[in-house]
Structure 1
């Protein structure tokens, strides 16, 4: 009997050790963070909000977009997303965010559980809008709203009275980067949505091919025709070749039509000059090089070994122990690259690390960075470090996701969040009247749950200030790749 008691006690001790170890391993509730990262997109919605809207402090906005075109032709451009804390619809970064949302679902669908449906709805909110933006042959609508006028006002989207000017590219004033990214978003989204709505997915894929053909046939940058309106905000610095190849890659993956794989193989050399320097290591709304190489590495395409080599070079550019590292790290371990809104780099690059780690693990390969051999698990470790930093494992013990954890940014640079909702303040707040809310020392009255801000500086310091927009403004292209990261770590918490 004594031995039995010892065995039973030993059994419970073993169970306690297992539970304690699991809890220690699972530092954060990635499931909660995933749900909130998707909810954020509801706070960025433009247009007529659905009855399922969960962030109830947001209401309908910009319901006349496209109906007052100067050429007297009206087109419905209602919908889509505001990209950040402003009220302009910039279609170039919006399309990239959509592509990354779709890639998150394609890659990590199995780990999303009940968050899959809201993720699909977030994707379709964008694709419904992009179908409108590409409905006129030979035209792609690239932006709605004037950035300068919008940024001179601190207004709720529900009150907007700044110009909702529509900007487009066409056969004589092309924009291959914005058109190519929209084509990529439509193709990737067709894959993400295929299981739930095959007819709609087929429509997206067909439209993506049409838009790609337009982008490729009428080549040119929207900087040249729309630079006055886009270049203070989302100027294209890397050229449009990467968007064309990115789009062709996604269309090939969605359609398996050899025309698009041949296009990639016949044109990818154009990615090199004059952007050959560190472009293989860049990925974001402007530059797609690293994403192209990681995506093709896992696809069944001819000559993919050269893409795998470049994807490995990208990994080596990120890992701090690599002799070819070109990424900086804060003392607390956060990735830093040049450019504002730094969290966009942390999430987008970490997303690629996870995808390439899974490919390398399946193919049982190491990544050689000079004389340093890297196991796939090291890539997962670094990506998780970035995610955990965002969620609160940092020198300030602060979550940079609004609404997650006990301590998070209270005064984010976001118009709708910082102004009282129309439910609490039904009277219109004029352009100049919003300034008092902008300069207020009070926390934002509306919690934009799931929003991830630009983040701390390279010294791990963060000033919770609306005026410090580089660090306090959330964006869709920070959150979109984070959705995939959180889904993966939710599925691999232990």
Structure 2
């Protein structure tokens, strides 16, 4: 849902004040939004859940984002994911081989990695790097009819979620997030429905699971041929800091392009990624359960894909293993060093347990827990042969989970769903021990300020070799004795915050909270709920920092998440703007450390990272806490309510755009200006055009600025306008484009009969975001009869009054409304000399009469991808639809008569630069003449 207004949040008072724009360094801001007089409600799980879902709308990717109706400041992006070349990439990545137990101890918790991490420089200048797919030509040829049924040589992989504040679609965190959101909805559907949030969460689940099915390619027998688990390359993506809408070819953000090459990584038989396939299978299986009663046909489709992906994961799983030893896996997906998978056994188990819930086929459970009872070691134990063998080698041993359900290790979720099925002491022990570990502490620890009474012991379920085949139900657990030897618990901050890793501590904490709520639901034992409630209080603001770690929650919250789209920089800098442009509602930031400290700073990807997997457990945790405490009859019921008529696209308080001196700054299109070399016969002028469109950010062209001046002094001396001449001194557009584009300075135009004229600077076909400088001089010509230069006082000119000198500081300029700005000949910025101001009655959208001919995919530029999109549309409009705007743009020959093959040809001509924008739309005869010349 795009808004056309240039200045949706343009700030009042700009016309009355002169605001300086200089090249000074922007100070770093580390302060959250704080209102000490109005502390947060620490128990409004309803509002927190309402906001938390919004994060996924901010991270949507593809050619349908603008139509989804959630955020006005997000628009279509990475539409070229729809035409990824079906060609082998060079070099081909290696198949992942997982981690040893020692490596796990060192690496766990590092998670995504992000900007600032040390990564190899792979040389983005290499034209073959980051292009194509990880398939051999032989594989492509063999399976082309399944991969490329329309034969256009490309793959449509649009859709899905960006991973974090970056724009890669990573596999494991994506499938983990989808499955965990689905799990929370499955367990606490009542909370979502009661709050009226069921439609929103179902929209999110549709979006991501539909994408998983879209990028799964199957043969005639519904067997998986290939599954795309990653689009984009982290090492490349992290070179750019701009909103995703601006990563478009033949454009510029600040001084360089942010266009990014996005390869696609597939799981195939030749390049297996069993962990990735199993993760997606789990999400689709849960999606079946969530929709089987309301959308049965859709649910069955999800189940079909879930089974196929699981079977493919099993088929392509490669391991080295001797019975009774820890196995190693060598069939893991590529991640570029950002989300390195430990192994695939947990994802396989996660998919299998959910497929059991879908089908009640116990073979799926056996895949997890199978034991070879025909083999016995010296101690009388039997080796595990199911997926459990990765964590428990034989029946003489058991396992203590001292981690948590997360993107790399989903055992926490596996045992939460496995224990109620097997009802063995082993599975209940593993499920419960993890929650004791998270919530408890030794008796010697002072927990008086924690807000809950922690457990100090672990339940004793029996000897390890007793647990594996001993029946036990949840009802038996409370009466078990306490262990006399086991007293290990997770580290806690002075205020009781449980921290398993300082990198994204809140994501792990809330995932454990979800497990605590599921344990209470499954066992009717609410032992761990007070801990989960206290931890959520801490997250929502009851902490030493005094603000919530959920963006936009209450009156006090972190407001500088590490997120390109919400920050919306026009300079590719994490420090500019000072205040983020958009409120990233509901994003759970990384969170505090073991000292209860947090840094609210955009560039801090440790404390303030935001990702899909951070919010996944958070949503389920909130839904569970609402179920137990926030509903009618709960102790927090009076404090729970959603925000009625919530405007996601609006901002929370504290998001005013200001410069380094605290002066207000406008957004949209505006102008600043400067002066130099003032003499009695002329002046040098600088006009800076600013594109700060934010709702959404976009590239526009065909904009012009007007500088008004008065020549009364010349007229009084008998001279006329012919004695004014212009000199072009600097055109930044030309410099940045290697002279491929230029701003154009007009001759003087008469404005009134009082000696007022203006010149226009037109930026045509200049697609940039940020600012562009144009410097020129207006001087008098020599009087050839008197051999003098007529005197002209430029200081009394209308557009002069707000200007500042840039003689000592070349970057100095002042925002002024006396230099007016126009698009489609409509005033969009400033005040004309007669007092005319931009119309507030109708929004203005800068475009070529609101149609960008040839731009079928609506990404702001015309490329060969648009021709491909139209060709696909003509071949199969149902499968390859165009948006309404896309249809208007595509109809560029005899406009109004419908889209034909001529339009495909015309778009190719437009993309080649062989026709001017002013000549569009074309007629059939003019197209014929153009193509004949070629």
Does TM, scored on the shorter chain, surpass 0.5? yes
Q: Which moved more, 1:67-76 or 1:345-354?
A: 67-76
Contact 1:69 1:166 in 2 (8 A): no
Q: CA deviation at 1:186?
A: 0.6
Q: Which moved more, 1:281-290 or 1:119-128?
A: 281-290
Distance in structure 2 (CA, Å) of the matches to 1:230 and 1:328: 30
Query: 1:279-294 residue pairs with structure 2 within 5 A?
Result: 279=401, 281-294=403-416
Tell me the SS of whatever aligns to 2:79: coil
Contact 2:329 2:344 in 1 (8 A): no
Change in Cα spacing, 1:50 to 1:201, as seen in structure 2 (3 Å) is: farther
Point out the structure with max Rg over C-alpha.
2
Distance in structure 2 (CA, Å) of the matches to 1:128 and 1:441: 36
> Residues 57-77 of structure 1, C-alpha deviation per residue, up to 9 Å, x if partnerless?
111111221522242742221
Q: CA deviation at 1:458?
A: 1.5
- In structure 2, the residue matched to 1:44 is 59
Distance in structure 2 (CA, Å) of the matches to 1:311 and 1:224: 28
Tell me the SS of whatever aligns to 1:434: coil
- In structure 1, the residue matched to 2:78 is 62
Q: CA deviation at 1:449?
A: 0.5
Contact 2:84 2:157 in 1 (8 A): no
Is 2:403 the counterpart of 1:305?
A: no
Contact 2:212 2:280 in 1 (8 A): yes
Distance in structure 1 (CA, Å) of the matches to 2:197 and 2:537: 20
Is 2:594 the counterpart of 1:475?
A: no
Contact 1:281 1:317 in 2 (8 A): no
Contact 2:228 2:264 in 1 (8 A): yes
- In structure 2, the residue matched to 1:14 is none
Q: CA deviation at 1:53?
A: 2.3
Tell me the SS of whatever aligns to 1:89: coil
Contact 2:402 2:437 in 1 (8 A): no
Q: CA deviation at 1:52?
A: 4.2
Q: CA deviation at 1:254?
A: 1.5
Q: CA deviation at 1:27?
A: 4.1
Distance in structure 1 (CA, Å) of the matches to 2:593 and 2:437: 21
Q: 2:283 aligns with which of 185, 190, 195?
A: 185
Query: 1:75-224 residue pairs with structure 2 within 5 A?
Result: 75-112=155-192, 113=194, 114-136=196-218, 137-160=224-247, 161-220=259-318
Change in Cα spacing, 1:28 to 1:316, as seen in structure 2 (3 Å) is: closer
Q: CA deviation at 1:119?
A: 0.5
- In structure 2, the residue matched to 1:250 is 354
Q: CA deviation at 1:226?
A: 7.7
Tell me the SS of whatever aligns to 1:135: strand
Distance in structure 2 (CA, Å) of the matches to 1:96 and 1:183: 10
Is 2:240 the counterpart of 1:240?
A: no
Q: 1:296 aligns with which of 402, 411, 418?
A: 418
- In structure 2, the residue matched to 1:364 is none
Is 2:561 the counterpart of 1:412?
A: yes
- In structure 1, the residue matched to 2:256 is none
Distance in structure 2 (CA, Å) of the matches to 1:269 and 1:192: 27
Q: CA deviation at 1:170?
A: 1.0
Contact 2:567 2:577 in 1 (8 A): no
Change in Cα spacing, 1:226 to 1:434, as seen in structure 2 (3 Å) is: farther
Distance in structure 1 (CA, Å) of the matches to 2:83 and 2:54: 29
Q: 1:32 aligns with which of 44, 47, 52?
A: 47
Q: CA deviation at 1:411?
A: 1.7
Distance in structure 1 (CA, Å) of the matches to 2:351 and 2:439: 28
Q: 1:316 aligns with which of 429, 436, 458?
A: 436
Is 2:464 the counterpart of 1:359?
A: no
Is 2:518 the counterpart of 1:396?
A: no
Query: 1:328-367 residue pairs with structure 2 within 5 A?
Result: 328-338=491-501, 340-361=503-524
- In structure 2, the residue matched to 1:446 is 582
Distance in structure 1 (CA, Å) of the matches to 2:591 and 2:301: 38
- In structure 1, the residue matched to 2:529 is 380
Tell me the SS of whatever aligns to 1:168: strand
Change in Cα spacing, 1:303 to 1:457, as seen in structure 2 (3 Å) is: closer
Tell me the SS of whatever aligns to 2:602: coil
Contact 2:401 2:430 in 1 (8 A): no
Consecutive unaligned residues of structure 1, counting only runs of 5 or more, are: 1-25, 362-375, 421-428
Contact 2:215 2:228 in 1 (8 A): yes
Q: CA deviation at 1:410?
A: 2.0
- In structure 1, the residue matched to 2:572 is 434
- What is the TM-score normalised by the length of structure 1? 0.84
Distance in structure 2 (CA, Å) of the matches to 1:263 and 1:341: 32
Distance in structure 2 (CA, Å) of the matches to 1:304 and 1:206: 30
Q: CA deviation at 1:140?
A: 1.5
Consecutive unaligned residues of structure 2, counting only runs of 5 or more, are: 1-40, 88-151, 219-223, 248-258, 320-327, 371-385, 442-455, 458-486, 636-934
Q: CA deviation at 1:83?
A: 1.4
Tell me the SS of whatever aligns to 1:65: helix
Distance in structure 1 (CA, Å) of the matches to 2:188 and 2:299: 19
Distance in structure 2 (CA, Å) of the matches to 1:304 and 1:217: 29
> Residues 200-251 of structure 1, C-alpha deviation per residue, up to 9 Å, x if partnerless?
1110011100000000111149996887x514210012x1111111110011
Tell me the SS of whatever aligns to 2:81: coil
Q: CA deviation at 1:190?
A: 1.2
Q: CA deviation at 1:280?
A: 6.1
What is the root-mean-square deviation in Å for CA atoms of aligned residues? 2.4
Q: Which moved more, 1:466-475 or 1:275-284?
A: 275-284
Larger helix fraction of residues: 1
Change in Cα spacing, 1:226 to 1:288, as seen in structure 2 (3 Å) is: closer
Distance in structure 2 (CA, Å) of the matches to 1:305 and 1:73: 55
Distance in structure 1 (CA, Å) of the matches to 2:388 and 2:582: 48
Q: Which moved more, 1:140-149 or 1:483-492?
A: 483-492
> Residues 416-473 of structure 1, C-alpha deviation per residue, up to 9 Å, x if partnerless?
01116xxxxxxxx5xxx312xx123612111111111001222111111122111111
Distance in structure 2 (CA, Å) of the matches to 1:318 and 1:388: 16
- What is the TM-score normalised by the length of structure 2? 0.45
Change in Cα spacing, 1:27 to 1:391, as seen in structure 2 (3 Å) is: closer
Contact 1:223 1:231 in 2 (8 A): no
Distance in structure 1 (CA, Å) of the matches to 2:162 and 2:355: 26
> Residues 265-317 of structure 1, C-alpha deviation per residue, up to 9 Å, x if partnerless?
3214313258987546432010111211111123xx34543211211221222
Contact 2:183 2:286 in 1 (8 A): yes
Tell me the SS of whatever aligns to 1:462: coil
Aligned length: 440
Larger strand fraction of residues: 2
Structure showing greater relative contact order (alpha-carbon pairs closer than 8 Å, 6 or more residues apart): 1
Contact 2:291 2:299 in 1 (8 A): yes
Tell me the SS of whatever aligns to 1:469: coil
Distance in structure 2 (CA, Å) of the matches to 1:66 and 1:248: 32
> Residues 6-54 of structure 1, C-alpha deviation per residue, up to 9 Å, x if partnerless?
xxxxxxxxxxxxxxxxxxxx84222111110111111111111264422
Change in Cα spacing, 1:194 to 1:282, as seen in structure 2 (3 Å) is: same
Distance in structure 2 (CA, Å) of the matches to 1:148 and 1:79: 21
